[in-house]
């Protein structure tokens, strides 16, 4: 794999995503946070600080997820549907470079999106004199980026072999199930049914455990896992992304256009 060619593809994806007005979501987030900071104190006079912190981090997750899923599923699929992939692959670009470049490009957009939304979030909380744990919020934002980058890899993997609509539905399904995958085994055990227990256990092993990367609930209270746990969870996300991109590349290489 040539890093230079991969970087060119990543840069083109980044620019295209910016042209698609992805960063207008930043303005939407800013408006949402201003409204939340103004209205929540009147709705919940005693717990407005916690609710405002919760709502802000939740909004960051939702907006980032929308970008990762809706753009990620179309990164490869649109190229296939429009047959522009034939032009790209006619050049000296390997399919691995194509897939990895697409992922890196959208991950770059997500990094900018998360960084700017975090800055807006912290600035508005400070301006409104709402206390928040700075370190916990920053670590939570970093792991939010890892979660969104992982979901981008999921979206690309599905987008390689199915339509954009179905890939979108499947990616959202993976997100929902992955967010609660840690509870699947416990749920299966409660049924006392060996078949269901086996199914839930296999799903837990296959699906990404997104609870490892979702730290917003801990960040609100300034409580984070140990450094060792954080590093292991980050490594888990990176390895899972590598596996997904390898699968996407394998499927893509077997497709005929």
pLDDT at residue 239, as a whole number:
95
- What's the rounded Cα separation, in Å, for the pair 144 and 133? 16
C-alpha dist (Å) from residue 120 to 32, 35, 88: 11, 13, 38
Q: Cβ distance 158 to 171 under 8 Å? A: yes
Domains of the chain, residue spans: 3-254
**208 in Cβ contact with 174 (< 8 Å):** yes
Can you give the pLDDT of all 257 residues of the chain as single tens digits? 667 778 888 888 888 877 767 778 888 888 888 887 777 655 554 455 677 778 888 889 999 999 899 888 888 777 766 666 666 666 667 778 888 889 999 999 999 999 999 999 888 888 877 777 888 889 999 999 999 999 999 999 998 888 888 889 999 988 988 887 767 666 666 666 677 767 767 767 788 888 889 888 888 788 888 899 999 999 999 999 999 999 998 888 776 65
Supply the pLDDT for residue 190.
67
> So what's the pLDDT on residue 43?
54
């Amino acid at each position: 794999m040539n890093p230079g060619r991969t970087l060119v593809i990543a840069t083109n994806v980044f620019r295209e995503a910016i042209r698609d007005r992805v960063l207008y979501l930043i303005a939407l987030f800013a408006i949402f946070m201003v409204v939340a900071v103004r209205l929540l104190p009147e709705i919940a006079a005693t717990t407005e600080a916690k609710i405002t912190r919760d709502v802000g981090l939740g909004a960051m997750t939702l907006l980032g997820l929308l970008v990762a899923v809706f753009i990620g599923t179309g990164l490869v699929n649109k190229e296939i549907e429009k047959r522009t992939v034939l032009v790209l692959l006619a050049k000296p670009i390997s399919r691995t470079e194509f897939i990895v470049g697409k992922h890196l490009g959208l991950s770059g957009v997500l990094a900018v999106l998360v960084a700017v939304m975090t800055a807006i979030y912290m600035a508005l909380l400070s301006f409104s004199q709402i206390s928040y744990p700075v370190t916990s919020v920053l670590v939570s934002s970093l792991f939010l980026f890892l979660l969104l980058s992982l979901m981008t890899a999921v979206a690309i993997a599905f987008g390689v072999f199915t339509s954009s609509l179905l890939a979108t539905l499947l990616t959202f399904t993976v997100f929902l199930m992955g967010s609660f995958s840690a509870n699947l085994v416990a749920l299966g055990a409660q049924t006392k049914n060996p078949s269901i227990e086996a199914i839930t256990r296999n799903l837990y092993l296959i699906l990404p455990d997104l609870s490892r990367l979702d730290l917003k609930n801990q960040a609100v209270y300034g409580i984070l896992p140990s450094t060792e746990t954080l590093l292991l969870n980050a490594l888990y996300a990176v390895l899972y992304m590598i596996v997904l991109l390898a699968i996407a590349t394998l499927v893509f290489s077997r497709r005929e256009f």
